[in-house]
Structures are given as structure tokens and as C-alpha cells.
Amino acid sequence: MVAHRNQPFYARLRFALRGVAHGLHSQASLRFQAAAAVGMVLVLLVLRPAAVWWALVLLASAMVLAAELLNTAIEQLADELHPQQSPGIRIAKDCAAAGVLLASLGALATGAALLVHLLRSHT
């Protein structure tokens, strides 16, 4: 894996995009979260909120997708290095899944705050 170090930007970008493609191909939860992010962009295009709301929603969506990808990486690495059951590996996987849960709850809270803001501004 040393070959991945000190590569030009386009090569590192290719590695990252390969990781995204693997995650989308192998993880139903990542596909769901990506579809939700696209759905939120469509909602933003229709509702046309202030730029700060765009930033908050896109940042929250990116956090969820990043958490899903990190969770996938941790699970893949743990399964590769330690295929048998292990309490320590289980805890690592549970913590990674908890990170996804917290990021998702934060994104839902951001969406709820946007909804409240829009409802209050139209009354």
C-alpha cells in the first residue's frame, strides 16, 4: 500500500472515487443515504432557502455520507483482519455504526430546523 503515498492529486482522487463506488455498490445504507442527499438537494432547489440553509443541509448530508463510508471501511478492515467473532471488533463496529446514527440524527435535525424556519417565514 506504500504505492498509494505521494501520488498526484488525480491519482488520489481516483482512489477516493473508487472507495465511493465500492461503498455505493456494496452498502444498501449508503445508497439510501445518497438518495436522501439527492432528494434534499431537489427540495432545496424547489424551496430556494437562504444560502446558509444550503450550506447546513449540504454539510449535514456530507457528514452522513462520510460517516457511512468510514463505517464501511472499519467493517471491511475488521472483517479482513479478524474474521472470527471478537468482543473488541464488535465494539469497534458498534461505535462506527453509532457515528453514522449520530450524523444521521444531526442531518434530520438540520432538515427539521429548515422546515420550522420555512413554516415560520410563511406565516
How far from each other are the two terminal CA atoms of the chain, in whole angstroms? 58
Q: Scanning the structure block, which residue is given the C-alpha cell 435535525?
A: 109
Of 57, 64, 68, 114, catalytic? 68
68 is a catalytic site residue: yes
Distance of alpha carbon 123 from alpha carbon 40, whole angstroms: 23
Q: What is the largest CA-CA distance in the chain?
A: 59
Distance of alpha carbon 1 from alpha carbon 80, whole angstroms: 15
Task: State the catalytic residues.
Answer: 68
